[in-house]
Structure 1
Amino acid sequence: MTMNDTRSESGVLYWMPLAVMAVVTAVDLVAGPEVGFLPLVSLGPAFASLVGGPRRTALVGAAALVLCVGLGLYDGLFDGRRGFTALASVAGVTGVGLAASVMRSRREAELASVRSIAEVAQRVLLRPVPRTVGPLDVAVSYTSAVAEARIGGDLYEVVASPYGVRVIVGDVQGKGLAAVETAAVVLGAFREAAHDEPDLVRLGERLERSVAREVDGEKFVTAVLAEVGSDGEAVILSFGHPAPMAVRRDGTVEFPEPESYALPLGLGVHGPGGAKPYRIGFAPGDQLLLYTDGVTETRDEGGAFYPLAARARLLQDPDPYRALRALREDLLHHAELPPHDDAAMLLLRCRGDDRPPTR
């Protein structure tokens, strides 16, 4: 359902109380008191309580009571019980609708407060990455599988450390608030250790200890760490995460993989050894896309996975954010339906010293 559809439905509900009371009045005047439509005037305050606040519900209820009295006098219903019965039904529905409207307004205020706090927490957790850092242009894209949520179980961060530009992209097992909490643990440990540890392997060990200490044994995090210095190479450290996609200056696409895969963070204590770093060439003009499995495991209606390698041509735009936005839109078009998993993408573009930063 689109936003326009939602607004249309809200508009219909907003005017429905008045329309219902107008229809009941017209039918009562035409058909006479024998039909017994007068109690249906109570539908006005009932519908008003669905979308209106307490004030609007009270006004519509008061109008319904006045209308009920007027029609009752016109039809001569107050000579017997029918007029008072209709008046009591309208008053009762108005009272119940007013109470429901008050409760709904309070819940909406509480929900708005919770959303505001959640948005602040999300901005703190997934801070905006710098567009340029060292010799790199950086762009990031995040699509949450949870409706109206900005983050989920995927995580990313870029840190300019004394030892080079260090990057992490990870995927927490599971969804919901528990996954967000685990992502906060990983990001907090990475932001601290990225400045302290001169070796990328030691940095990975710090993350492993933090995850093992803070989360239970059933949680784990797949992650890939990258370190880009000034030597024309990038060092990659993978913890059970999909291999990054390297797009060379001439358009060649590669998925450099380690000789052996390590277990995800949180499960390293059960494995024979930790992750082993490996180096790849990363010269000016090259691009490195780090992503989560929500990208490559996105399926279309026919069950076909998203062909990431074939879509690498979409990253040719000179502006890295426009390039990554084109890739994200193509991913959503491939899915056709709302995504079933979070999808994070972080694009690193080696600018070199001879090219100005992207604005």
Structure 2
Amino acid sequence: MKPRQWGAGPRQPWQSTHALLLLPVVLILVITVVDIRSPESIHLGPALVIAPALTPSFAGPRTTAFVGALALAAQTLIAFLHGGIATSNHVVQLVTLAVLSVMCVVYSAVRERRQAQLAQVRTVAEAAQHVLMWPLPEYIGPLRIASLYLAAEDEAQIGGDLYAATRCDNTVRVLIGDVRGKGLPSIGEAALLLGAFRESAHRHVALADLASGLDQSISRYATELETEEETGERFATVLLVEIPDRESVTRMTSCGHPPPLLLSPGHAVTVPSLHPSPPLGVHGSTEHTLDVFSFEPGDTLLLYTDGVVEARDAHGRFYPLAERVARWTDDSPEALMHHVRRDLLAHAGGRLNDDAALIALHRTPAVRRRHHGHGRMAGADSSRPEAG
């Protein structure tokens, strides 16, 4: 859904370009007037090259050529009024300005071509990302959901963190995980894990059996693809959560993943005591433990990856997630994600060193069954701040 726009909309690109074009034009005009009014011993004409040199930063080769031609015309006028065009000094200035203007036009053409290629690559990448990323529904079963993903790698919307949710026999099953590595190199394992969850979530009655199935998938993938140097390096931490529609409980199986936070009204934050098994792909035959906790209507379960709590500030201090979210336990999932995003980025100085993902699962009093499960792998932020 497109964000609501208030008041006048943003300027169109052509409007911004026309406004910026005034800068080199005014610069040429000022330099010309000042040079004409200055004594003949003062030569400001060489400064005209600044105008065509600035233009490629916001315009294409045609506009750059126009500014270059305008600068040459101004230099010609200055030469005509100051001793004549045929003087050696003015000839050198005209030739130099013409050569530099041509170089600026060539640079602008190369830059425009590379921008077009980059835009094409981004379009293809975004199309592939949307095939892999399934946005979580706003409501699923008795839950209201909001999610947040922050990629560590520039220009990336996906990475090694992942999450998914699905409906299975009057229950909601949620997966959040983190494969080894970050950014684009870890996409293969993340895609495999998501596909295995979507396929296996409906087959296994017990959550521990589902974890075992995912473990086998990761182990098989590692055996087939990892090199000798990567032996034992392909693994993933995973937290599986199961929330029945008619029971005020949540069942969890952790495979080396950080425990979630349980947010209750009145600024109460508790950390469920889990019995985690090793990450998936480390020991294929590991027994997985099922932990059961109370999850009442009005509570919010906050799932996250280690990229959140391991984000450091300028002094090397980790992000205190439990302490910060205690202020927002009464907020909606969307507002909670909005607060965490803003606070986390402020803590980390605007950039994270690792992918970070969060899901807020708010248990509503009424059961909603309109939506079926979806999954999402390391994608753009799907949270929306609440309208005031």
TM-score greater than 0.5 by the shorter chain: yes
Q: Which SS does the other structure have where 2:280 is aligned? A: coil
The aligned runs of 1:59-70 (5 Å cut-off) are 59-70=66-77
Q: Does 1:222 align with 2:237?
A: yes
- Which of residues 20, 31, 37 is equivalent to 2:44? 37
The aligned residue for residue 329 of structure 1 is: 342
Q: Which SS does the other structure have where 1:142 is aligned? A: strand
Aligned length: 349
- Is the CA contact 2:269–2:326 (under 8 Å) kept in the aligned structure 1? no
Identity %: 37
The aligned residue for residue 174 of structure 1 is: 181
The aligned residue for residue 152 of structure 1 is: 159
- Is the CA contact 1:296–1:305 (under 8 Å) kept in the aligned structure 2? yes
The aligned runs of 1:167-316 (5 Å cut-off) are 167-212=174-219, 213=221, 216=226, 217=230, 218-229=233-244, 230-248=246-264, 252-259=268-275, 261-269=276-284, 273-316=286-329
- Which of residues 52, 58, 74 is equivalent to 1:51? 58
Q: Can you give the 5+ residue segments of structure 2 that lack an aligned partner in the other structure?
A: 1-12, 371-385
Q: Which SS does the other structure have where 1:195 is aligned? A: coil
- Paired with 1:97 and 1:128, the residues of 2 have a C-alpha distance of 45
- Is the CA contact 1:225–1:236 (under 8 Å) kept in the aligned structure 2? yes
Displacement after TM superposition at 1:220 (Å): 2.5
- Which of residues 358, 365, 369 is equivalent to 1:345? 358
Q: Which amino acid aligns with 1:311?
A: R
Query: Higher RCO, 1 or 2 (CA under 8 Å, sep at least 6)?
Result: 2
RMSD: 3.2
Q: TM-score, normalised by structure 1?
A: 0.84
Displacement after TM superposition at 1:39 (Å): 3.3
- Paired with 2:316 and 2:369, the residues of 1 have a C-alpha distance of 43
Q: Which SS does the other structure have where 1:238 is aligned? A: strand
Displacement after TM superposition at 1:12 (Å): 9.5
CA distance change for structure 1 residues 69 and 313 in 2, over 3 Å: closer, same or farther? same
- Is the CA contact 2:308–2:319 (under 8 Å) kept in the aligned structure 1? yes
Q: Does 1:87 align with 2:100?
A: no
Of Structure 1 and Structure 2, which has the larger fraction of its residues in helix? 1
Farther off after superposition, 187-196 or 118-127 = 118-127
Q: Can you give the 5+ residue segments of structure 1 that lack an aligned partner in the other structure?
A: 1-6
Q: Which amino acid aligns with 2:128?
A: A
Q: TM-score, normalised by structure 2?
A: 0.78
- Paired with 1:49 and 1:131, the residues of 2 have a C-alpha distance of 45
Displacement after TM superposition at 1:102 (Å): 0.8
Please list the CA deviations of residues 55-90 of structure 1 after superposition, one character each: whole Å capped at 9, or x if unmatched.
110110111222222222222343333333222112
CA distance change for structure 1 residues 329 and 78 in 2, over 3 Å: closer, same or farther? closer
